[in-house]
Amino acid sequence: MNTLEQPRPPFPSFDAESAAQKVRMAEDAWNTRDPEAVALAYTVDSVWRNRSEFLSGREAIVEFLLRKWEKELDYRLIKELWAFHETRIAVRFAYEWHDHSGNWFRSYGNENWEFDTSGLMRRRVASINDLPIKESQRKYHWTLGRRPDNYPSLSDLCF
């Protein structure tokens, strides 16, 4: 293991509880909008497909996230476990954000994750669609940062 990589429990093979914990930890990290901190959950040579963009390596992940959160303002995300098996987890998610012109969007998608034995994500494949919404249609109203534990899930919000 590279010295820049610290183990990230829970570790594979995943069960329902550890997979759900891994999903919530990823959601919490992404809601910080801190690219450097988020990138530490990925191997230094992690491979991504995000929409039509292909990335490789932690440095590319940080650069991608910097661009993302420069564009996607007031970003709030909810992730939900879809399926798991051994070293892999499938997630569905939705997030809300607005651009610099004040146009709001809800972005929906699915991610497929693969982890190494130290619990770091070595592969992330994301498919995402953006839906323009009115500000009055927003459903995510918590203070920026971690979603409160008592806030509805994606299933509760009928997404």
What CA dihedral angle connects 118, 123, 129 and 131, to 10 degrees?
30
For residues 113 and 93, the answer to whether their CB atoms sit within 8 Å is: no
Domains of the chain: 16-137 (3.10.450.50)
Give yes or no for a contact between 97 and 69, defined as CB atoms under 8 angstroms apart. no
What is this structure's pTM? 0.95
Residue 23, by phi and psi: left (phi above 0), alpha (psi -120 to 50) or beta? alpha
| Number of other residues whose CB lies within 10 A of the CB of residue 140 | 19
pLDDT tens, the chain, 159 aa long: 455 679 999 999 999 999 999 999 999 999 999 999 999 999 999 999 999 999 999 999 999 999 999 999 999 999 999 999 999 999 999 999 999 999 999 999 999 999 999 999 999 999 999 999 999 999 999 999 999 999 999 999 988
